[in-house]
Structure 1
Amino acid sequence: MSEDASATELTSQYTAQVTADLERNAKEQQRLSAEIAALQEQLAAQQRDHTVLLSIQQAIGAAPVSAEPSALPDSAAAVPAPRAAKKTAESGSGKRARTRKTAPAPRQATSGKPAAEKASGKAGSAKTVQPTLVDLIRGHLSEQNEPRSAAEIAATLGKAHPDRSVKTTVVRTTLEGLVAKSQAQRSKQGTSVFYTASAVPERAEEQPAPAGA
């Protein structure tokens, strides 16, 4: 009888120990599953930020391309260079220098000036015909009192300018570029992203006015 009692006690002890181990194992699995889910959410957030940063990098890298028309005045300014060379040649001496000066002078003057004038005229007409998408987005944000999403801004600009194809992806990329330049502010509400105009550039523009005066 004593052996049977000791056997039952051992069985009950092992059973209690195994039950406790199973409970601890289940709790540990729940804890690890929660940590894995949190890490997956963090990874997804990092991946979203990575795509946003790539779009900002592309927008910033594409910015210098739009500034290429500003190089036209430099090319136009480079036209008078031959004239200076001609003056030095004239002061140098001789009939040969004079004959050389008179021949190329009208060719360079006639070919150089119209090209610069045409290029500057095209650049000026392109600027006056319609504003850029960056200007449109800045103006729209400055008129809004509440944050606006990229889709809302694209829809509003598309209605206001039906002759232009305004895409939400392009608007979002432009907005991220403005945020990177501190010309706009970004805020999140849940999973949605909203944008507002930034007041920092306006203060920066107001400060040099009295200094210059």
Structure 2
Amino acid sequence: MTETPSDTTDLKAQYTAQVTADLERNAKEQERLHGEIDALQDQLRSLQQDHGVLANMQQALGVVTPEPAPAADKVAAPPVPRQKTAATPLAAKRTRAKKAEKSEKVTPPQSAKEAKKPAAKAAAPKTSAPKSNQPTLVELIRRHLTGQSEPRSAAEVASALTKAHPDRRIQTNVVRTTLEGLVAKSNAQRSRQGSSVYYTAPDAQEPTAPSQADSEPAQVNG
């Protein structure tokens, strides 16, 4: 049988269609693999950066890194005494046990002490520095009350301290509880004007409070 020109054209069309489809698949697969390679390279770079940061932190902490080398030496060392074990097995076992006991007793406590000492030294100056610089809230409130000639509410005291010390977070609720604590210890006096509560220093009884406030501190002191 002979092939007609129509048959050859049909075969060429099928082959060309298959080849073009295979080329498209190949190109798509290459793009996918390139994308995965780029993602893996990004992950590798980030891991390398993390490795460098962790290595620097390990050096800063004073951790000794060349520990795996002696471990390899210890693994490679046993073949030598194994030749002697054929003659004296009990003696070889005793020497190994003694060496293991000595290594366990000597090395771990030294490394633990060395690891604890720098941490304690580094933590000590951080905690002690900021405490001595700023006065406590109780001291600020007492100073403010002694400098006032009239009773002040907790909100007024809080706003005045916030203006005087903008770097500190002073809340009205905390100021109110601190004032109540000073009143309980007789380091401040409380007076009422209607539904409002005002506070004064213990020495400021006479000159300050309005008519309703003067009567109640007098009753408390009496």
Same fold (TM over 0.5): no
TM-score, with structure 1 as normaliser: 0.39
Higher gyration radius (CA): 2
- The structure with higher relative contact order (CA 8 Å, sep 6+) is 1
